[in-house]
Structure formats: structure tokens, C-alpha cells
Amino acid sequence: MILIAGPYRSGTGDDPAKMAANLARLEEAAWPLFAAGHVPMIGEWVALPVLSSAGAAGPLDPLAEQVMYPTAQRLLQRCDGVLRLPGESTGADQDVAIARERGIPVWFRIGDVPGCGA
């Protein structure tokens, strides 16, 4: 399982359309990872439904602080690697730091992930 990390809320000014565009950019890496035999994972795929089921209004709800980053932290206990996509993101940088602490590989280009090379 490879965690795809990159900007989601960062740089959007909390504009929902920009956050959706950021999520779509993260999701672009899902197929190449899957095709190479990995299970792609994006923290928002888990965190956003959790927020919704808790009655939160979305990623800007005060409850999000208790769900968004902690979700990635929990996922990283089960991930075999992190693909860090370009763009400023405190959360993605935190994911990289946690991965390195745990000795989990971190890649910065999809082509560097095992099985995804040209």
C-alpha cells in the first residue's frame, strides 16, 4: 500500500473547487500505482467519509483537525511507502517525516516507485 501525499487544502484559500482539483491531482497517481501491483491510498479517501459520518460539514469543520492528519498517521502504520507529489503541504511533509521515522521508503517521482519505472 502506497500513500499518495501532496497538497490538498494547502494553497487553496479554502476554495472547495481548488481542493477538489488538488484531490484530482493526487488521484492521477492512483492508476499507475495500481497497475504496478500496489494499492494506492490517499488520506482524504478515508478522512472525508469519516468527517461526514461524524456530522462535520467538510474539511473546514473544526472536527477536521481531529481527523485529517490523524488519518494519515494511522494509515502510515500500514503503508509500505509514500509517494510525495510536488507542491507545498504541511500534511504531506508530515507524512514524509513519519515515513522516514518508521523506515518506510519515500519516493518523489512516480517512476521511482518499484514497478512504475518507464
**Total of domains in the chain:** 1
Note whether residue 75 is domain-resident. Answer: yes
Dist. CA 42–CA 60, nearest whole Å? 18
Please write the tens of the pLDDT for every residue from 59-97: 999 999 999 999 999 999 999 999 999 999 999 999 999
Note whether residue 11 is domain-resident. Answer: yes
Contact 10, 93 (CB under 8 A): no
Note whether residue 92 is domain-resident. Answer: yes
Note whether residue 118 is domain-resident. Answer: no
Note whether residue 31 is domain-resident. Answer: yes
Residue 107's closest CA among 76, 84, 88, 77? 84
Note whether residue 104 is domain-resident. Answer: yes
Any idea what the CATH number is for the domain that residue 64 is in? 3.40.50.10400
Report whether pLDDT(118) > 70: no
Please write the tens of the pLDDT for every residue from 8-42: 999 999 999 999 999 999 999 999 999 999 999 99
Note whether residue 117 is domain-resident. Answer: no
pLDDT, position 11: 92
Helices (H), 36-88: 43-53, 68-75
Domain membership of residue 71 as a residue range = 2-112
